[in-house]
A and B are shown apart, each in its own frame.
Chain A
């Protein structure tokens, strides 16, 4: 009887210790993903957090590379109008999925955005990358040191960010996203799927706002 009590006590202590350890784990070691998240036929589980109202009837899924100058053009010339007219008003939301193929710094830049997401700063970091993009691919503007400098300037916890980026924690996540792009026939960046209540439409390239407006208005 005494023996049984000891065994039970050991089991209870082990369980409590396990729960305590999992609760006290650093944020860099936890990944908060909704593995079942899809938009239309696309699995966006490993993509960005949703920008805008998650319950909006339309979702714009953007496949992009942080070193792509056409993505830069879209970010600066088309996205602001879409944000103002459709995302801010709750008519649509946006999810960014990485298609990191242009250079050796592209996957690392994509991973860095998820390290920023660990500290709830995904979109702020995403915006900094597209604001800081330089015209030359792999020129060093998005190398590991610069990615850490962007995080430092944003006031992120550098211990967490550095360990996240250096460990390659999100390397598989970026690979999964790139694979999603290939599976769905995205053959360049930026590539878009506009997913509405009645279906989805694919768009290729940094198309002007007028094209997005035409499609979005027919879906609302």
Chain B
């Protein structure tokens, strides 16, 4: 495990934050993408043919839970810039939005409210759900590596100073 991760997650506050982010993102995305239903019974299933989508959701949630607390650590503890935080949030949001707009209640509400513009946006997010999620994972992965690199340098500097 890279020392940067050890440094951040040895603090229980950041570990807890990571668990909360992972749980909320995972459960939220699984509900939106209809892997989990809450009514009339709580039930989960992975329909055949949707396994890859499920893996992408788990990956996005895990990477968001890894990257976001590390960036919050940089801002809080090391008082560094908020620039890299943007990459993590952006990756998380576009990864989440990709599956949100489809034939479910969110897509229906968007189309009902915004008409043909909403329908076009919904169709785009639905048609390119998998590529958008892969791009989101790419953004989160890049943000992770740059954050680890920064933390190594910044922690070293802080320890020597």
Chain A residues packing against B (C-beta within 8 Å): 65, 68-71, 73, 76-77, 101-104, 135-139, 187-190, 201, 203-208, 210-211, 214-215
Is A69 touching B103 in the complex (CB atoms < 8 A)?
A: yes
Q: With A102-B122, A205-B34 as given contacts, are A71 and B103 in contact (CB-CB < 8 Å)?
A: yes
Q: Which of B37, B50, B107, B122 contacts A211 (CB 8 A)?
A: B37
Task: Give a binary string over B86-130; 1 marks a CB under 8 Å from any A CB, 0 the rest.
Answer: 000000000000000011110111011000000100110011000
Is B104 touching A137 in the complex (CB atoms < 8 A)?
A: no
Chain B residues packing against A (C-beta within 8 Å): 34, 37, 39-41, 43, 45, 47-50, 102-105, 107-109, 111-112, 119, 122-123, 126-127
Report the minimum CB–CB distance from A80 to chain B (whole Å): 12
Is A103 touching B41 in the complex (CB atoms < 8 A)?
A: no
User: How far, in whole Å, are A101 and B127 apart by their CA atoms in the complex?
Assistant: 15
Chain A residues near B39 (CB-CB < 8 A): 203-204
Q: Which of B40, B43, B102, B127 contacts A70 (CB 8 A)?
A: B102
Report the minimum CB–CB distance from A128 to chain B (whole Å): 19
Is B108 touching A188 in the complex (CB atoms < 8 A)?
A: yes
Chain A residues near B107 (CB-CB < 8 A): 102, 188
Is B122 touching A187 in the complex (CB atoms < 8 A)?
A: no
Chain A residues near B102 (CB-CB < 8 A): 68-70
Tell me the nearest residue of chain A to B107, going by C-beta: A188
Q: How many A-B residue pairs have CB under 8 A?
A: 76
16 further A-B contacts with Cβ under 8 Å, apart from A73-B50, A188-B105, are A65-B103, A69-B102, A70-B104, A73-B47, A77-B47, A77-B48, A101-B119, A188-B103, A201-B40, A203-B40, A204-B37, A205-B34, A207-B37, A207-B43, A211-B40, A211-B41
Report the minimum CB–CB distance from B66 to chain A (whole Å): 30
Report the minimum CB–CB distance from A4 to chain B (whole Å): 63
Top 8 closest pairs, chain A to chain B, by CB: A68-B103, A137-B123, A136-B127, A208-B45, A187-B105, A188-B104, A189-B103, A188-B105
Report the minimum CB–CB distance from B18 to chain A (whole Å): 30
Is A102 touching B103 in the complex (CB atoms < 8 A)?
A: yes
Is A139 touching B127 in the complex (CB atoms < 8 A)?
A: yes
Report the minimum CB–CB distance from A74 to chain B (whole Å): 8
Is B37 touching A205 in the complex (CB atoms < 8 A)?
A: yes
Q: Which of A77, A102, A211, A215 contacts B119 (CB 8 A)?
A: A102
Report the minimum CB–CB distance from A198 to chain B (whole Å): 16
- 16 interchain pairs (CB within 8 A)? A70-B103, A73-B47, A73-B50, A76-B47, A76-B49, A77-B47, A103-B123, A136-B127, A137-B126, A138-B123, A187-B108, A188-B107, A189-B108, A190-B103, A206-B47, A210-B43
Chain B residues near A136 (CB-CB < 8 A): 123, 127
Chain B residues near A135 (CB-CB < 8 A): 127
Chain B residues near A210 (CB-CB < 8 A): 43
Report the minimum CB–CB distance from A1 to chain B (whole Å): 68
Report the minimum CB–CB distance from B56 to chain A (whole Å): 15
Chain B residues near A103 (CB-CB < 8 A): 119, 123
User: How far, in whole Å, are A184 and B37 apart by their CA atoms in the complex?
Assistant: 20
Q: With A136-B127, A137-B123 as given contacts, are A206 and B34 in contact (CB-CB < 8 Å)?
A: yes
Report the minimum CB–CB distance from A146 to chain B (whole Å): 17
Q: With A69-B126, A71-B103, A205-B37 as given contacts, are A101 and B45 in contact (CB-CB < 8 Å)?
A: no
Report the minimum CB–CB distance from A98 to chain B (whole Å): 13
